[in-house]
Amino acid sequence: MTLEQKAADMAGIEIRDLHLSFGDTKVLTGINLSIRPGEFFAFLGPSGSGKSTLLRAIAGFGPQPKGEILIGGREVATLPPWKRDVGMVFQSYALWPHMSVRENVAFGLQERKVPAKEIRSRVDEALALVGLSHLADRMPNQLSGGQQQRIALARTVVIQPKVLLLDEPLSNLDASLRVQMRRELLALQRKLGLTTIFVTHDQEEANTTADRMAVLDGGVIQQIGSPQELYDRPVNLFVARFLGTANILEGQVEIGSDGALFRTATGDVLHLPAEGTAGPSNIVLRPQNIRIEQVSAPDTLQGEILHREFLGSQVRYLVRAAGTEIVVDQSHRAGEVWLDPGTGVHLAANTRDAVLIPRGA
Amino acid sequence: MRNTLKGTAAALVLASTSTAAWAEGSVVVVTSFPDDMTSVIEAAFEAAHPEYDLEILNRSTSSGVRYIQEIASNNTADVFWASAPDAFEVLKSNHLLAHAGISTEGIPDMIGAYPVNDPDGFYYGFAASGYGIMWNTRYMDANGLEPAREWSDLARPEYFGHVGMSAPSRSGTTHLTVETVLQGEGWEQGWAEWKWIAGNFASVTERSFGVPDGVNTGNFGLGIVIDFFGFSSRASGFPVDFAYPTVTALVPANVGVVENAPNPDGARAFVEFLLSPAGQETLFDPAIMRLPVNPAAYEAAPEGLPNPFEDTSIGAEVLFDVDTSGARYYVVSSLFDVMITYRLDDLRAAVRAVQMAEERHADGANAEAAALIAEARALIEAMPITEEQSLDPAFSGAFTATRRAASDQVEQRQAELEQQWDAFVVQNYARARELAEQAAAM
Amino acid sequence: MTKGPHPASFADRLPAFLFPRLSPIAMVGLFIALILFGFLIFPVLQVITVAFQDPASGALTLNNFGDFFGSALFRQSFFNSFYVSAISVVVATVIALPLAYITTRFNFSGSILIQSLGFIPLIMPPFVGAVAMQLIFGRNGTINLLLREHFGFTLPFMEGLNGVILVQSIHYFPFILINLSASLRNIDRSMEEAAQNLGAHGLRLFRRIVFPLATPGYIAGAALVFIKVFDDLGTPLLLNVNNMLAPQAFLRITSVGLNDPMGYVISVILVAFSILSLWASFLVMRGKDYATVQKGGGGLAKRDLALREKILAYGVVIFILLIVLSPHIGLLLLSFGTIWSFAPLPDAYTFDNYIRMWEGSQQYVMNTLLYAGLAATLDVILGTAIAYIVLRTGIAGRKWLDYMATAALAVPGVVLGIGYLRTFQDVDVPFVGKPLASWWVIIAIALMIRRLPYALRACMAALQQVSLALEEAAESLGASKFRTIRRVVVPLMTGGILAGFVTSFATAAVELSATIMLVSAERDSPLAYGIYLFMQTPSGRGAGAALGVLAVVIVALGTVLSQIIIERDKKLRTAGRD
């Protein structure tokens, strides 16, 4: 018996037109989602975006949603939690304080009426998997946060669930442990080949672990895709702002004689490399795609440095330009002379890496 | 006025001073008599003596005695007023009663076979009561029973589980009833009778009022109670009735002035009032219904209340010996508790087994069974101590409170004795039950 | 007072000992210790020394304890007491568990019923409860008369020990209900969800996860029930059950003229065994602080009930409430009944009992409000002070304040009453000209001591929820210790203090066992004593019942009122937190 899944056992998750409300408050609206078997998928969003509610709906907790949830092709939306065969790791770990580590891990197997001998070997295997075999007889309150997290994981994977749901699993750990744990999580997921959903509000966590992710806001999925797609090609301002730092200028796309150009509300003009659709639009510029020039040139925005922060590999400037405040990152080289607040500068934007988002999206 | 003042903390001192002022005319009476009775007499007394304010403190007889004992060092009680002469004997022997020297003119020395007043003058009888049988008519009808008229009737098998009584250690008047039968029938025969009656008990109540209460509610059908409980329950409308058996003692209910009373004049005035014709007539109140000790008072007696000074059949059968009763007072109380109160379940089981066996062999044809039954009966009736022992002062000394000189060595402690008796009766009851069941199976 | 790095020599300590420089808080602690010693420990010692004396010579001896264990009757009494207490805990659990479960787990409109009626059994004077229970469940009570008439058999609800168990479980189950509900509410929702997620549900889920997590609260409640039943006197006496320890002690102590030391020996054993039980429950609970609500957790998920489930739940709740409120129903019937004798219901109904009751008992009501109010007020003041000293200061021996105050739980009321008479009969109160033992204030003091443990627990719990940081903030802003306590700590503890006040007040208002020894004048009598007086006469039963109903109504109103205040206070505080 092994915890690793055969490809045939891997289950995908299909969510169709899911709606959910707490009383009169709509919490999830029109969720459609398809997660592939074996995929590491993240739900990313600010608090209150509905990401945890969606995860809990998949596990069978919370109010009954409308719509379909299919796990491995089986409709589960109307099943109680204990019949869904999904494993969930809770934000608080929810280790039962009255049971030892071993009893905690064995619980799910006992509920499944697995023979005692087999329970023992599978619990040992699961504890070995998370590297905590030596703590089997401890009580949960004798464990550190990271150990509790691993036990919670072992307790869930030991039942060989079809999918693994992780609800903000790293939020109760301190920063250094968090990085280590997310690597371990990913390694474990790859090893077991478990279809996994990971809920987080931390884009770095999502970016570093997920194959694909869904960004949620206001109970609605804003965009689904790989971390790179979402960063590079956000479909709306929310996604653009939520993933990384984004400078957003309001303006208009115009098709001029020398191709498309973006005219800001203050009248500055940026030439666009590709054809655009004329009309009111926003342009998203990432801080690292803007250069600071001392002299004026075409396609630059005139501004004044307001503030400077040294981040080690980069120097971050806050520049007032085009009627707004623009963040600019300049990579730092030893001995470089920094610009002081108050200095007048010109910003050259690399419009090839910019994204145009039509007004209203 | 005092009440409203009491409500506010600021008035504490005021309240206390007003208490002190008012205490001049107050007479504190510790009594076991119910409010029904005391309120009537209180009103009559205060009307006759407006200068005094009667302060009634209701306690069961036993805790009343205990209370007077505990507060003796700084006494606040003036009068002790209760039924049982024995309670007064205890207080007297503890030197807690005063020699009040109140005139008892017109009151005979004896009522039935019992002396009315303490010959040493520490307490006075003011009313007479006798024990009898009280029954609930609805209960009797529902169970198809006839009321028992004599003590011995109560031992009949048809009353199994229908009888209630208090214990002599809890109620002085119950003690008197037990002792009356013991003296009337003899030590062995008397105890045997009590055990056969007790075998029919539904329960032994902790308070003497528990018995009329049990009959009134129909919790059990018949109770061994003092007469006024029967009369006043009937007067309150309960479907109950009462009768004196031929063997009963008329016993005076008593009153005495407490030694070192804060208001000795008030105390004396109250006792004198109780013994006066006016005080005696208050006893005819329907809520009281006790027999006056002053024969002159009977002229005003209501219909149906017997006059023991004319109808000598009541309480005349037994010549009650107070000395015998006093000498073994605690031994009898303790024996009753050990053999009956605390082992009621064992006793009932044994008695029931004998009753069943006797019913089975009512014709007496089976000699072997009859022998077994006789043996079982003897076991139930067997006594752990003889009458001589019960009267031996060294023996009863184990039960009394008084400190003795180191020279009169007490052989055994009460707890040791009780344990021996307990072992004795538990074993006998169990064996009797076995034998009776054996006989019944034949 | 704390030990320095080097153990100080006796000579070093001597001056400090002779001229202690006590902080104001330590003085308060010392004062409380003196009160507890004077009004609890010393009087009880006065009583129990008799247990160690030879009755004849007064010499010290352990013979009496030898006699106790040598006596089959006492061994049986001990066993019966233990058996009755244990089974009462079981029955009380059976009553409390479904109620606690339904209120904490489901969105159930009947929860209000449970919350408002569930505590009422506690505020019935136990001896009145026994009278009413006899009328309903007794061998010829309502139920058995009906059973006999229609089905030809009866059930021995009230026979012997059964009766004691039934009355006690019904009287004391709220202790379990209150503690268990609180515990259930404190379980983090994810604890349960994790188990469901791993395949557990229904009864197994409850048995393996939910109930074990609620054990600390359950044990606290169960231990209380156990001790109260073990020590209780009134109920077995009223049901004429003698073969238990407390009645044996009472019977022996109060028998006319008998000076049998066994009563006192039994008292010592009662006190010792109760303390042992308390200690055992502390041991069991140690290391089991499962208060697991974490941030974002928030209690167990409450589920909506389907119609059928709702009907079932209402059925269960109403059935249980009918049983636990049957003493009150019986009392109500009795108070409006004319004659109730060997019949399922009273013969006729009338208001006369209330009229008679009202004429004779305003005094009792006033006295009860005064005594119970005074006792409960002193209780919460002492409780708050002790809680503060124990939890927030480092005063040496502070734990002993807690132990001493809690020990009152283990002292039977009769023992305390007799102890007071022995101790204070010779102490004259200045200006009053009476011994302290017969001054009405002593009754309030006895009630205060008896109810202090309840108030103390409530105050402790309340203080534990006040973050230390709030106090430090006040102190750093320049408030003195006492001002901090008055302006920050006590206001934040209001809810808990009120809860303590209510429990103390409600139970003190119906207490009889200690007061019956201490009432020295009828005009000083409290309600429970008044009921007792009425119930001693054939014609007074109805009036006594009416007074009992009045007592329940008064205390219930008070409780509901303070419940409202507590709820409002809770809302204010949560509003302030957001």
**Count of A-C CB contacts under 8 Å:** 75
Q: Which two tokens stand for residue C80?
A: 């019966």
Structure tokens belonging to residue A360 = 């209203």
User: Minimal CA–CA distance to B282: which of B176, B127, B118?
Assistant: B127
- Other C-beta atoms lying within 10 Å of the C-beta of residue B439: 25
Q: pLDDT value at position A212?
A: 95
Give pLDDT tens digits along chain A (361 positions): 456 655 556 789 999 999 999 888 899 999 999 999 999 999 999 988 999 999 999 998 888 899 999 998 899 988 888 888 899 998 888 888 888 999 999 999 998 899 999 999 999 999 998 889 999 999 888 888 889 989 999 999 998 898 999 998 888 888 888 888 888 889 989 888 889 999 999 988 899 999 999 999 999 999 999 999 999 999 999 999 999 888 999 888 888 777 788 888 888 888 888 767 788 889 999 999 898 888 888 888 889 999 999 888 889 999 998 888 999 998 888 888 888 898 889 998 888 888 888 887 6
Closest-CA residue of chain B to C54: B413
- Residue C218 lies in domain: 73-349
**What residue segments make up the domains of chain A, in order of their start?**
7-235, 245-358
Cβ contacts of residue B441 below 8 Å, gap of 6+? none
pLDDT given for residue C206 in this prediction: 87
Residues B359-372 have pLDDT tens digits of: 988 887 888 999 99
Q: Report whether pLDDT(C294) > 60.
A: no
- Is the per-residue pLDDT at C577 higher than 60? no
Residue C405 near residue C387 (C-beta atoms within 8 A): no
pLDDT at position C251 = 78
Distance separating alpha carbons of residues B90 and A336, to the nearest angstrom: 111
Instruction: Return the closest-CA partner of residue B211 out of B325, B314, B132, B138.
Output: B132
Contact between A60 and A88 (Cβ < 8 Å): no
Amino acid at A284: V
Average pLDDT, chain A: 88
* Closest in B36, B219, B422 to C140, CB measured: B219
Residue B13 has pLDDT above 80, yes or no: no
Residue A87 contacts C, CB cutoff 8 Å: yes
Contact B34 C58 (CB under 8 A): no
Q: What's domain A245-358's architecture?
A: Beta Barrel (2.40)
Residues of B in contact with C237 (CB under 8 A): 206
Q: What does DSSP assign to residue C570? A: H
**All structural domains of chain B with their residue ranges:** 2-128+251-300, 328-442
Domain stops at, among C317, C349, C381: C349
Per-residue pLDDT reduced to its tens digit, B278-316: 899 888 887 787 888 888 888 887 776 778 777 766 665
Chain C nearest-CA distance from A161, in A, is: 9
Say how many Å lie between the first and final Cα of chain B, rounded.
77
- Render pLDDT for A100-120 as a digit per residue (tens, 0 to 9): 999 999 999 998 899 999 999
The answer to whether the CB atoms of B406 and C57 lie below 8 A apart is yes
Q: Is C75 on the interface with A (CB under 8 A)?
A: no
Domain at B2-128+251-300, CATH homologous superfamily: Periplasmic binding protein-like II (3.40.190.10)
Smallest CA–CA separation between A17 and chain C, in Å?
A: 24
H helices of chain A, in order, are 51-59, 101-111, 116-129, 145-157, 175-192, 203-209, 227-232, 237-242
Integer Cα distance of A60 and C296 in angstroms: 19
Residue pair B400/C257 in contact by the 8 Å Cβ criterion: yes
Residues 6+ apart with CB under 8 A from C74: C68, C245, C248, C262, C266
B 134-163 residues inside an 8 A Cβ radius of C: 136, 138-139, 142
∠A189-A194-A199 over CA atoms, to 5°? 70
For residues C399 and C514, membership in a common domain is answered with yes
Interchain CB contact of C338 with B (< 8 Å): yes
pLDDT digits (tens, 9 = 90+) for B219-268: 999 999 988 888 888 888 899 999 888 777 777 889 999 999 999 999 99
CA dist., res. C89 & res. B392, Å (int): 48
Residue C5, pLDDT > 50, answer: no
Q: Chains with ≥3 Cβ pairs under 8 A against B?
A: C
Dihedral-angle region of residue A215 (phi above 0 means left; psi in -120 to 50 means alpha; beta otherwise): beta
The CATH number given to whatever domain includes residue C430 is 1.10.3720.10
Q: Which of B403, B118, B384 is nearest to B271 (CA)?
A: B118
Does pLDDT of B110 surpass 60?
yes
Strands of A279-285's sheet, edge to edge? A269-271, A259-264, A247-256, A279-285, A355-358
User: What letters, b where the CB count within 10 A reaches 16 and e where it falls short, cover C157-187?
Assistant: bbbbbbbbbbbbbbbbbbbbbbbbbbbbbbb
d(CA B396, CA B93): 15
DSSP conformation class of C341: S
Whether residue A164 lies within 8 A of chain C, CB to CB, comes out as no
- Report pLDDT for C10: 47
Q: Do B333 and C258 touch (CB under 8 A)?
A: yes
Measure the CA–CA gap between C82 and C75, rounded to whole angstroms.
Answer: 11
List, in sequence order, the alpha helices (H) in C37-62: 42-48
Contacts of C198 in chain A (CB under 8 A): 82, 87, 107-108, 111, 155-156, 159
Q: Alpha helices of B199-297 — where are they, by DSSP H? A: 210-217, 227-235, 264-275, 277-281
3-class DSSP state of C377: helix
Per CB-CB distance under 8 Å, the chain B contacts of C134 are 217, 219
Residue C572: predicted pLDDT: 64
Does C213 sit within 8 Å of A111, measured CB to CB?
A: no
Locate the DSSP E strands across B227-333: 240-243, 250-257, 291-292
Whether the CB-CB separation of C305 and C313 falls below 8 Å is answered with yes
From residue C501, how far is each of C32, C505, C514, C532, C548 by CA, in Å? 18, 6, 19, 25, 21
| pLDDT confidence bin for C259, thresholds 50/70/90 | low
C 420-439 → B contacts, CB under 8 A? 421-422, 425-426, 428-429, 431-435, 437-439
Cβ of A97 and C213 within 8 Å? yes
Identify the bridge partners of residue A86 per DSSP, sorted by sequence position. Answer: A163
A97/C contact by beta carbon, under 8 A: yes
- For residue B403, the model assigns a pLDDT of 43
Specify the pLDDT at position C38. Answer: 92
Is B301 in the C-facing interface, judged by CB distances under 8 Å? Answer: no
C364 with C259, same domain? no
SS3 track for C384-417: HHHHHHHHHCCCCCHHHHHHHHHHHHHCCHHHHH
Asked if residue C199 and residue C80 are part of one domain, the reply reads yes
Residues in chain B: 442
| C-alpha pair distances (Å), B24 with each of A162, B74, B76, C466 | 92, 17, 12, 54
CB contact under 8 A, C290 and A88: no
C195, C294: one domain: yes
Interface contact flag, A98 C288, Cβ < 8 Å: yes
List the single residue in C196, C209, C288 with the smallest CB-CB distance to A81. C196
**Contact with chain B for residue C10, Cβ under 8 A:** no
- What's the rounded Cα separation, in Å, for the pair A84 and C201? 13
The answer to whether residue C67 sits within a structural domain is no
Answer yes or no: do C355 and C208 share one domain. Answer: no
Q: What are phi and psi of B56, to 5 degrees?
A: -90, 130
- Does the distance separating the beta carbons of C297 and A107 come in below 8 Å? no
DSSP string, A234-284: -SSHHHHHHSS--EEEEEEEEEETTEEEEEETTS-EEE-SS----EEEEEE
* C and B touching (3 or more beta-carbon pairs closer than 8 Å): yes
Q: Of the candidates C133, C251, C127, C170, which has an alpha carbon nearest to the alpha carbon of residue C528?
A: C127
pLDDT given at position C576: 44
- For chain C, the average pLDDT equals 81
Average pLDDT on B273-279 reads 90
**pLDDT at residue C246 above 80?**
yes
Q: Read off the pLDDT of residues A262-314 as tens digits, 9 standing for 90 and up.
A: 888 888 888 888 767 788 889 999 999 898 888 888 888 889 999 999 888 88
Chains B and A touch (3+ CB pairs under 8 A): no
The answer on C355 and C322 residing in a single domain is: no
CA C155 to chain A, closest CA, distance in angstroms equals: 41
Contact residues on chain C for B166, CB-CB shorter than 8 A? none
Residues C363 and C223 in one domain: no
Mean pLDDT lowest among A225-239, C156-170, C174-188, C333-347: C174-188
The residues with which B255 forms a beta bridge, in sequence order, are: B81, B124
Chains that touch C (3 or more CB pairs under 8 A): A, B
Query: What CATH superfamily classification does A7-235 receive?
Result: P-loop containing nucleotide triphosphate hydrolases (3.40.50.300)
Q: Do A88 and C297 touch (CB under 8 A)?
A: no
C478 touches chain A (CB under 8 A): no
Average pLDDT across chain B, whole number: 83
Q: How far is CA C36 from CA A198, C384, C389, C401, C446, in A?
A: 59, 15, 15, 8, 11
CB contact under 8 A, B2 and C523: yes
Mean pLDDT of C410-419: 80
Residues of B in contact with C262 (CB under 8 A): 414-415
pLDDT for residue A328: 92
C-alpha closest to that of C48 among C537, C443, C319, C415? C415
**Is C44 within the bounds of a domain?**
no
| pLDDT value, residue A83 | 87
All residues of chain A having their beta carbon less than 8 Å from the beta carbon of residue C197 are 59-60, 81-82, 86-88, 156
Nearest CA in chain A to C190: A94
pLDDT in tens, B71-92: 888 888 999 998 877 788 888 8
Strand-pair category, B222-226 with B291-292: unpaired
- A interface test, pick of C186, C198, C205, C290 with most A CB neighbours within 10 Å: C198
C197 touches chain A (CB under 8 A): yes
Beta bridge partners of residue A324, listed in sequence order? A321
pLDDT at residue B431 greater than cutoff 70 = yes
Picking from B58, B136, B233, the nearest residue to C533 by CB comes out as: B58
Last residue of a domain, one of C294, C325, C349: C349
Which one of C316, C349, C382 terminates a domain?
C349
Choice between C116 and B243, residue whose per-residue pLDDT is larger: B243
The answer on C142 and C281 residing in a single domain is yes
Give, in order, the Cα–Cα distances in Å from B153 to each of A286, B146, B197, B245, B360: 111, 10, 8, 10, 20
Rounded-to-integer distance, Cα B400 and Cα C331, Å: 42
A137 part of contact set with chain C, CB < 8 Å: no
